[in-house]
Structures are given as structure tokens and as C-alpha cells.
Amino acid sequence: MSNESDLTALYPFLHGQPQSPERLDAALLHSVNEKARDSRETNSRFFDEQGPVLVAAAKALAHVYRRGGRLFSMGNGGSSCDASHVAVEFVHPITAGRPALAATNLVADLAMISAVGNDLGFEHVFVRQLLAQGKAGDALVGISTSGNSTNLMAAFAKATEIGILTIGLAGGEGGKMKSSGLVDFCLVVPTTSIHRVQECHVAAYHILWDLVHTLLADDRGSATTKGAAA
């Protein structure tokens, strides 16, 4: 179907045609199937292309935790919800036997964000928090569907200055996250559809969380084996 015929099928009353419930249901079901297909294909392409980057990011983040570092997360709008989700996953793991890992959501403190945004500008809302709380050896994950969020890029620049590991989740061509050289590991979803990008981001940070715990558990297993041998 062309875009025009799709719209005509979905919204016939806009084109002077009587609305048929059967035709509307069929068109809506077709839309569901097409979106689900696109989601599966985008997800598959993303992990085929970015799997090695995700593994490398997990190894680097596990190393941060081994050395007593913590994770910071940030994002705007819908991506701020993902930033919250990332922090919760690490602090409150739902899988039995997995320890809590230190993580701070930089979007959580609305008083801080509104104060900094009002006094200095919205581009500084994450930078100021990193200056107060971050230290060399920590990690920062930033989530943006475009990869161009000014406040994220400012925070990535400051993190690089401090010596903080940087991980970015973006979409499309990766935007400034990809081109700036400020992000150590940039995971780019190969589509401009915001919904498909967000769906892949959720899967990516769930897998990142799982891989980090797997790597840390392997460390604990190795230490136990060495202790028993001694």
C-alpha cells in the first residue's frame, strides 16, 4: 500500500468514505503486523552489528565495578525513563543471587535539575552533578534517540576530562555521540524510527546489565576456586 492508500484505509471518514468496522480492523491488524515485523528486523540488525560493542562495553563496566566505581545514567524525555530504568536494574537486581551494584540516575533530582537549568542553562544539568559526585574510574551511560542531546554531550565531555568511562545509546547515524570521539562505546540503532530505537535501547541495557553480572560472577567463582586450592 502507498502512504495515501494506508491513510484512506485507516481513516476513510477523512476522505468522504463511509467507515467500515471490518475494513478498519483489518487495516489496524495490518499495521500491527508491519510494526512488529519492523521491530524484529531492526532489533536483529542492531544486535548483529553492535553485539561486539555491547560485549566490550560490558567488560569495561564490569572492570569499573571491580575497582569500586559506580555507574551514572542520564537521558531526556522518554530516554530519561530509560536512564531511571538502568539505575534501578543495577541497584535492585530482580534475579536471585545477584548483588546490588552502585548506580545513580542523574535525572532523578528535579530540584537539582530545575535549579541548574534555571541558573546556568539546561545543558549543564548533568555536568554539575558529575562534578559533585563523579570521580575517575566511574562510568556514565547516556541515552538519546538522536545522539545529539546538548546536555548529554556536555556531560560526556566532562566525564572524559575527569576520567569516567562513557557509554552511549543512540539511533540513526549516531549523531554527535558517534562523531565526537567523547563516547568510549557507542551503540547505534540503525533506524530513524524513535519507537524502534527505544525498543532496541531497552533490550541493550538489559543485556548490558546481565553481561556485567555474568562477568562479575565469573570473578567471584575464580576467587573461590583459588581460595579452595590454597
pLDDT single digits (tens) 18-62: 668 888 888 889 999 999 999 999 999 999 999 999 999 999 999
Q: Given phi > 0 = left and psi -120 to 50 = alpha, else beta, which region is 77?
A: left
In 3-state terms, the chain is what percent helix, strand and coil (to 5)? 65, 10, 25
- pLDDT at residue number 96: 79
Q: Given phi > 0 = left and psi -120 to 50 = alpha, else beta, which region is 50?
A: alpha
Per-residue pLDDT at 10 exceeds 60: no
- pLDDT at residue number 35: 95
Average model confidence (pLDDT) across the chain: 91
Q: Which of 11-25, 50-64, 103-117, 128-142 has the lowest mean pLDDT?
A: 11-25
Band the pLDDT of 97: cuts 50, 70, 90: confident
**pTM reported for the whole predicted model:** 0.86
Band the pLDDT of 118: cuts 50, 70, 90: very high
Could you report the per-residue pLDDT of 134-186, keeping only the tens digit for each? 999 999 999 999 999 999 999 999 999 999 999 999 999 999 999 999 999 99
Spatial distance between the Cα atoms of 74 and 84, rounded to a whole number of angstroms: 8
Spatial distance between the Cα atoms of 153 and 150, rounded to a whole number of angstroms: 5
Among 142, 68, 78, smallest CA distance to 105 is for 142
Band the pLDDT of 227: cuts 50, 70, 90: very low
Residue 114, CB-side half-sphere exposure with 13 Å CA sphere: 3
Residue range 98-127: average pLDDT?
97
- pLDDT at residue number 128: 97
